[in-house]
Structure 1
């Protein structure tokens, strides 16, 4: 049954899964079926044949937990796993159709979700990795090191740090780095940025997706900083990427990483490998003190709703608890107790006259994107203008403008936020217009 949970994790969940799999026998023919994360509560039936004791051929595979149906696969099996054309139905979650390999979608396929979303295209080992065939053939993955500190999670226990590249032919005009949001897979970043990456390739811009989705602030996370610089160095050596033409970008945590590294590169306290030409923050939280206080305020408001709390607000409540716990562990307590630690960790500090670390971006081209859809936030998250990332992003842009910057842009892409499955969500990569972004990069890289 946990095979189902593993598929769900690959498709959507920001979590890690340890492999404790084993073969179990189906109750009808005693054929062996692979159970990715075995539990004694799991059972399975198979209507097809066996080959060498393992489920094989065409048939219907039905999973149960405590005798309750939790999933069904109709299609081709080999060696006790879905291998070939088939359809996997996971009640209450999704229907998967296409080519399966070792139990998960691999190749052309589709996932139709119960919430109305869908992903149709190419899958790699269960992950939606969707570029047009021409570009997909050019996409390469390079391992850098082992991940000993959980810089990258939701990788099914692989434990590797790596990057993907889409390398253009001929001269490289610029390098666009894409950092994932918290828990987001590198493959999802690629699928969400299909148009951006393909247009970048067409315009001789090297795009790179870095496997960092769970690192701490770069001011304290030396392993993450070392990994980032190992990627940059490898790009410069391997592809002769121009060291002075790097543009760092990212969504949420990824935007924090992009902004923070760029700030550090202009801060004499640090000696970074590169000085990014420009940086892009896609709806990142930039003021850690504000983030703490907002989470602190929201927790009792959500908990007051009790059983009436919507699924969207339940996720927000979980996030708020996570942030509070993280900040207490990382900084030792609240911003009132350790203000300097919060300032050091922030890309912008609204309550500091000098803007905190934002002052290092006055002479840097900066783009700050958000989708400040207040109606969506009120309905789905019970958040107002003061608790959206847009509040501090606009304040950060205003600070930079007031201190002489002519290179900062605040871009409110209202209504443009959609997840890769087509569902509406302001906190998404899609708020970046690919055509406009590529034009901006090319202008900078002249």
Structure 2
């Protein structure tokens, strides 16, 4: 049973059930009752039962496949099997989490499908390799996945061994919008979240591309990520005859950091860049790494004092804070107090630095930062105040740029606009970007 499903449900399952951490290699296991063989690439310790027929010793035809962990049901599949694989129409039910329904090929959703979560979330549409890839048919047919030929030896993308990018290319390319994923986010999810914007880009002769970068370090310390970005941008220029001076970089969270930082590096001369972006968009990115570190420390202290009463949302935030502290300690070699210059170098903006740190390289660049500053949501679900939200540093950065003379630096508070692809409310989401207004802004820049 190869469970490849969109990031939202996958993360829930992986975080909450050790049994569903995918193994590197699979094997056939026997139905404990009939001895019928079923493919298992989840956990060798799990057992199965199959109610349908066997053909040449393998589960085949229609029936019910049930997965057990220590005699507890963890998943049930009702539908078609072929030669021991979940292949055909059917429905998976994941105990305690939700269900996935549609056409499966070797255990993954392919084509039209639907995922329902007990939290109320819902994903429905076209699935490719278990990921929702939901453009309208006329656009989906034109979407291309380009293999870069670069092996991901440094793990700058979680989910694939070879780096790639998606491209939705009009016939006459007048500009390029680059969309960069957040941490752990699949490229397919980025496409689905930006469905309307990508449609509008195509209709207005703007090439939209999505790159496989969702786990890179800061670009100042990640040569593999910089090499992939530079190589991909050069390939896009050559393959699509795209104007090198009409690239607009955009990204959510980590992707927004990457968009802003690459643009800064292109002006600073510290490292080689294959393009100088025309503009950059940050969708709720953290921009001051020193403040981000300090906030994480404060949140850990707050959450641990109330550890017995933490909700799942707050537990997730606590885990993220622990991860961030450990990650920054390793990346920079210590805390902001110990190595302040490292944090300035790795930040897109430094509040406590007289010249704004790297933000000074954006004084002549059109910059947009979008945020959903819903303080009520943050207080309820994360126990955060304004001092612990990205919008504080974001607004300070844009204010610095405007004071420094950048009349095209914009801070856009999209209050109440943040919703995830599954329909659930979350301020930290792609949906805070208004596609119609954004395309108008981009067209004014590239004309």
Q: TM-score range by the shorter chain?
A: over 0.9
- 2:50 maps to 1:46: yes
Q: What are the within-5 Å matches in structure 2 for residues 29-40 of structure 1?
A: 29-40=34-45
Aligned to 1:268: 269
Aligned to 2:357: 356
TM-score, normalised by the number of residues in structure 2: 0.96
Q: Is the 8 A contact 1:10 1:126 kept in 2?
A: no
Aligned to 2:17: none
Aligned to 1:168: 170
CA distance in 2, matches of 1:233, 1:88: 43
1:161-198: CA deviations, max 9, x gaps? 110001112x1111000000000010111111111111
- 2:245 maps to 1:244: yes
Q: Is the 8 A contact 1:362 1:400 kept in 2?
A: yes
Q: Is the 8 A contact 2:7 2:185 kept in 1?
A: no
Unaligned runs of 5+ in 1: none
Deviation, 1:136, is: 1.0
Q: What are the within-5 Å matches in structure 2 for residues 275-354 of structure 1?
A: 275-354=276-355
Aligned to 2:407: 406
SS at match of 1:229: helix
CA distance in 2, matches of 1:20, 1:380: 38
Equivalent residue in structure 1 for 2:153, among 148, 152, 156? 148
Change (3 A) 1:257 1:9: closer
SS at match of 2:219: coil
Aligned to 2:59: 55
TM-score, normalised by the number of residues in structure 1: 0.96
Aligned to 1:183: 184
Equivalent residue in structure 1 for 2:93, among 77, 89, 95? 89
- 2:261 maps to 1:257: no
Deviation, 1:99, is: 0.7
SS at match of 1:172: coil
Aligned to 2:76: 72
CA distance in 2, matches of 1:440, 1:163: 24
Deviates more, 1:382-391 or 1:21-30: 21-30
- 2:106 maps to 1:102: yes
- 2:130 maps to 1:132: no
Q: Is the 8 A contact 2:86 2:106 kept in 1?
A: yes
Q: Is the 8 A contact 2:6 2:131 kept in 1?
A: no
Deviation, 1:7, is: 4.4
SS at match of 2:296: helix
CA distance in 1, matches of 2:280, 2:82: 48
CA distance in 2, matches of 1:208, 1:264: 21
Structure 1 residue runs of 4+, over 4 Å off? 6-11, 14-18
CA distance in 1, matches of 2:54, 2:23: 28
Unaligned runs of 5+ in 2: 15-20
CA distance in 1, matches of 2:141, 2:383: 44
SS at match of 1:190: helix
Change (3 A) 1:104 1:271: closer
Q: Is the 8 A contact 2:299 2:321 kept in 1?
A: yes
CA distance in 2, matches of 1:335, 1:81: 52
1:387-419: CA deviations, max 9, x gaps? 100000000010000000101110000000000
CA distance in 1, matches of 2:7, 2:181: 17
Q: Is the 8 A contact 1:11 1:126 kept in 2?
A: no
Deviation, 1:20, is: 2.4
1:78-127: CA deviations, max 9, x gaps? 12121111111111111111111111111100001110010010111111
Aligned to 2:122: 118
Q: Is the 8 A contact 1:343 1:356 kept in 2?
A: yes
Q: Is the 8 A contact 1:11 1:128 kept in 2?
A: no
Q: CA RMSD in A?
A: 1.4
Deviation, 1:128, is: 1.1
Change (3 A) 1:305 1:421: same
CA distance in 2, matches of 1:444, 1:294: 36
Q: Is the 8 A contact 2:6 2:132 kept in 1?
A: no
Deviation, 1:18, is: 4.5
SS at match of 1:369: strand
Q: Is the 8 A contact 1:10 1:127 kept in 2?
A: no
Equivalent residue in structure 2 for 1:20, among 25, 40, 46? 25
CA distance in 2, matches of 1:10, 1:19: 21
SS at match of 1:266: helix
CA distance in 1, matches of 2:398, 2:162: 36
Alignment length (residue pairs): 439
Equivalent residue in structure 2 for 1:159, among 158, 161, 164? 161
Aligned to 2:230: 229
- 2:430 maps to 1:429: yes
CA distance in 1, matches of 2:54, 2:113: 26
